Structure 1
Amino acid sequence: MNIKRILKSVHFILSELPESNNWENHPNIDPIFKRHVEKLDTYKKDCLYWFSCEDAEKATMLNNALNQYRAKYSERDDYRIVPTTNKHNSNTNIIYVGVRRGSTAKNPKCTNIIGRINQHLGYYEQRKTQGLQLLHWAKDVDINMTLHVSPF
């Protein structure tokens, strides 16, 4: 199997994440940002996905910002659940690795992967659903990100 043929890479800059007022806007409907993620609407299989930065230095900076968010806001009522501290992922440009289980072949009610990615980007009303929640703590960081998605 040719992995490059099925791997989808989405490049974006964190500071370009669209605003979302009362969850009326999210990346796959935003007129400007949707070009980054619209092909993910066709992925209706189990998928491996990961977020990466340009280099390990930027990934460390982003992980430090996530740790600061976690330390500063974890006791507040509006805290959004983010991944636990990753102590084993140093010296790499990878921020997060995930698996989305749920194929429409197995479960016809299953949604495509963009729903899970929107949670990681921070476009999900339920703050208790764990995800990177980038919009809520990294919106002002000017870092180039890449989302890699590979269905299996």
Structure 2
Amino acid sequence: MATTEKQNVKTMEINQLKDFIKNKSKTISENFHNISKNGFLQSISFEIDVNKLDSKYLDKVNITKDGDFSEYFQKMIKYENFPALYFFEINETVEKEEIVTLIKKVNEESQLNIPAQNNTLKNQGVLYVGKVKSCAWGRLIQHLGYHKNRKSHGLQLDFWAKEIKSELKLKYTVMFFEENIKEDINILERILANQLNPIIGKH
């Protein structure tokens, strides 16, 4: 292919890429403009009593239908197909170093996948910030430590939350958004994480 032809092809590819970026940016802009006007679709927030975390939810009891947490799961399942942001809050009196030490222990002894610690210097009241394109309730099961896939990535709370020296107060909040931002929910996750400075998870 002659040099001129190669240049024409590259120019065409660059123009196509430029158009793609422009169109994608326009779509994102319109979707986020709607969020700026209307906010999120729905939110659900509840306290998680760590003393009620029980290994029975791994293989004996369906946590979404029975037990102490089923009410919350049923509320979340209604929004199964929607993208969501979520975060876990804890009491600031718990030392960050204690949490990190316990999590490392779980990684080493149980070989379960727990997110890495953040660069936050101390516990400022937020444990973790995350996002899903769908099935937020399933992601919560992973974080609690009851997913059937033992290699699934999550906080694995059942394995360490009750070992905190002082009583751990844990609160979970999830916010659901319209389905058209599924592919861009990570943008909001990064913004939220930068605002909340979680102890666990790098963004």
Give the TM-score taking structure 1 as reference length: 0.75
Q: Aligned in 2, Cα 1:38/1:56: closer, same or farther, shift over 3 Å?
A: same
* Residues paired across the two proteins, number: 137
Counting aligned pairs with the same residue, the percent is: 26
Q: Which amino acid aligns with 1:8?
A: I
Q: Which amino acid aligns with 1:113?
A: A
Note the alpha carbon deviations across 1:15-67, whole angstroms, 9 max, x for none: 112332652325323333312332011122000000101x3223xx3x43442
User: Aligned-pair RMSD on alpha carbons?
Assistant: 2.4
> Could you tell me how far apart the structure 2 residues matched to 1:64 and 1:88 are?
11
What corresponds to 2:47 in structure 1? 11
Question: Runs (4+) of structure 1 moved beyond 4 Å?
Answer: none
What corresponds to 1:88 in structure 2? 120
What corresponds to 1:45 in structure 2? 82
Q: Which amino acid aligns with 2:138?
A: G
1:149 aligned counterpart, secondary structure: strand
Q: Aligned in 2, Cα 1:65/1:36: closer, same or farther, shift over 3 Å?
A: farther
1:151 equivalent to 2:176? Answer yes
Equivalent of 2:129 in 86, 97, 101: 97
1:136 equivalent to 2:169? Answer no
Equivalent of 1:31 in 50, 58, 67: 67
* Greater percentage in helix: 2
- Determine if contact 1:37/1:114 at 8 Å carries over to the other structure: yes
> Could you tell me how far apart the structure 2 residues matched to 1:46 and 1:36 are?
17
Larger Rg belongs to? 2
> Could you tell me how far apart the structure 2 residues matched to 1:26 and 1:64 are?
33
1:87 aligned counterpart, secondary structure: coil
Q: Aligned in 2, Cα 1:22/1:70: closer, same or farther, shift over 3 Å?
A: closer
> Could you tell me how far apart the structure 2 residues matched to 1:114 and 1:134 are?
15
Q: Aligned in 2, Cα 1:56/1:22: closer, same or farther, shift over 3 Å?
A: closer
User: How far apart are residue 89 of structure 1 and its match?
Assistant: 6.2
What corresponds to 1:106 in structure 2? none
- Determine if contact 1:19/1:25 at 8 Å carries over to the other structure: no
Q: Aligned in 2, Cα 1:15/1:140: closer, same or farther, shift over 3 Å?
A: farther
Gaps of 5+ in 2: 1-37, 178-203
Gaps of 5+ in 1: 103-111
Give the TM-score taking structure 2 as reference length: 0.58
| Structure with larger RCO (C-alpha < 8 A, sep 6+) | 1
What corresponds to 2:97 in structure 1? 64
- Determine if contact 2:107/2:114 at 8 Å carries over to the other structure: no
